[in-house]
Amino acid sequence: MSDTPPPAPVEIKHRFPCASCGADYRYDPGGDRLICDHCGDVAGIETGGPWQGGIRELDFAAALRDQLPAQEMEETRVTTCTSCGAQVELGTDTHATECPFCASPVVTDTGTHRHIKPRALLPFSLDEEQARKAMTDWLGRLWFAPNGLQNYARKGRKMQGIYVPYWTFDADTKSQYRGERGTVYYETRTVTRNGKRQQIQVAKVRWRAVSGRVARFFDDVLVLASTALPKRYTDALEPWDLSALVPYAPEYLAGFRAEGYSVDLEQGFAQARDKMDAIIARDVRFDIGGDRQRIHDIDTEVRDTTFKHILLPVWLAAYRFRGRTYRFVVNARTGRVLGERPWSAWKIAVAVVIGAAVAGGIGYLVALEQGGF
């Protein structure tokens, strides 16, 4: 093996000048094409659409040894938000901006982030107008949200289209377990209730030691590789249509931002193992059978682990309203919306008054009926 280090990956610039006027193309959500907003010129993307050959996985063990091929690595210019920790990829001409995740002002630095290159992504399907409608419809269903926030959101600034980083893991697992199978049976007992003797059935469990093996192949265990958004938001945006993944091409990022991963590969696999272990435990309980199960020990062998770094699309809105920041996330494939729920004090007060009035009216009618009036 040569001691000569591989050449350093070059910085990737996601800029695509229009062939007609020189302005920047942007990716057209749902259109699988690039479009120039200045002159209307359109260009195709050769790699568009699901790749029939599948997305090639990378070897997990090789990545931990830092032995991935040089072409699987890249360097991008990023800035780290001091408020939420997001690492957002930026263009070379951007020096000051606002964090799309929490609306805090940030000043860019000159640092670069050397990371594993994305293998695949899900392109945006919803454009900004569709995402904004989904968000305002969701806000409109929150009766206790302040009207001012709803109006501000409808007329607010542009939403941010962001590709959020994820890991997916494949692994072949074989597990040996020890436990107990419980069989429910009933005993008849005589008890005294209200001065009367009665016979009742009391459930008992008879336990028997068992052991066995289960096996499962895990495909595309999905793990969020970002800490910028609350996990409860991103988890609730699932499921993602991972069967529609396309091979990574920078054209899909034209006009959008991409966040660099802040959860490294080893941390991501630890989270994936938690998910796998929960499913393996469920398999073990099914294999034990019976009416009840106890698991004493599970020893799992994990083999042939592979992974992908992928990007999934979301529309973000971060609004500062009356001194507070409210964040909303829209799944850019399905339109599902999650966000921080604001409350309107006067709406809650009105609801309490109405509720008390209704309860009082019902109580009055009941009293009239009982009094014979």
**Residue 51 or residue 260, greater confidence:** 260
pLDDT at 153 (0 to 100): 55
A 10 A CB-CB count for 55 gives 18
Could you identify the residue written with the tokens 């014979």?
Answer: 372
Distance of CA 140 to the CA centre of its chain: 24
**Residue 316 or residue 365, greater confidence:** 316
Q: Is the pLDDT of residue 242 over 90?
A: yes
pLDDT at 344 (0 to 100): 41
Point out which residues pair with 331 in neighbouring strands.
314
pLDDT at 263 (0 to 100): 93
H or E segment at 331?
strand 324-331
The answer to whether 125 and 30 have CB atoms below 8 angstroms apart is: yes
Distances (CA, A) of 282 to 205, 208, 271, 277: 21, 19, 17, 9
Residue 257: pLDDT band with limits 50, 70, 90 = confident
**Residue 91 or residue 349, greater confidence:** 91
Of 116, 95, 93, 115, whose CA–CA distance to 105 is shortest?
Answer: 95
How confident is the model over 2-43, as pLDDT tens digits? 444 433 333 344 678 888 888 889 999 988 899 998 898 999
For the whole model, what pTM was predicted?
Answer: 0.78
Per-residue DSSP letter, 145: S
Q: Please report, rounded to a whole number, the percentage of residues in the chain having pLDDT higher than 70.
A: 69
d(CA 280, CA 284): 6
Q: Residue-wise over 61-73: b if at least 16 C-beta within 10 A, else e?
A: eebeeeebeeeee
Q: Is the pLDDT of residue 94 over 50?
A: no
Q: Is the pLDDT of residue 73 over 90?
A: no
Amino acid in the structure at residue 86? A
Amino acid in the structure at residue 123? P
- What is the average pLDDT across 104-118? 69
Show the tokens assigned to 255. 């006009």
Residue 87: pLDDT band with limits 50, 70, 90 = low
Mean model confidence pLDDT for the chain: 80
A 10 A CB-CB count for 23 gives 13
Show the tokens assigned to 164. 């959020």
d(CA 340, CA 332): 18
Q: Is the pLDDT of residue 110 over 90?
A: no
Tell me the CB-side half-sphere exposure of residue 262, using CA atoms within 13 A: 17
Q: Is the dihedral of CA 283, 284, 285, 290 positive or negative?
A: positive
Per-residue DSSP letter, 257: E
Burial of 303 by CB count in 10 Å (0-12 exposed, 13-18 middle, 19+ buried)?
exposed
Which of 66-80, 142-156, 166-180, 310-324 comes out lowest in average pLDDT? Answer: 142-156
The answer to whether 51 and 45 have CB atoms below 8 angstroms apart is: no
Q: DSSP assignment of 199-239, as one string?
A: EEEEEEEEEEEEEEEEEEEEEEEEEE---SS-HHHHHHTPP
Q: Is the pLDDT of residue 135 over 80?
A: yes
Residue 330: pLDDT band with limits 50, 70, 90 = very high
- What is the average pLDDT across 324-348? 72
Q: Residue-wise over 87-118: b if at least 16 C-beta within 10 A, else e?
A: bbbbeeeeeebebbbbbeebebeeeebebbbb
Show the tokens assigned to 279. 């499913």
- Measured in degrees and rounded to the nearest 5, phi and psi for residue 198 equal -130, 155
d(CA 62, CA 306): 10
pLDDT at 191 (0 to 100): 82
Secondary structure of residue 104 in the 3-state scheme: coil
pLDDT at 158 (0 to 100): 77
Which of 231-235, 254-258, 340-344 comes out lowest in average pLDDT? Answer: 340-344
Q: Is the pLDDT of residue 92 over 60?
A: no
pLDDT at 155 (0 to 100): 59
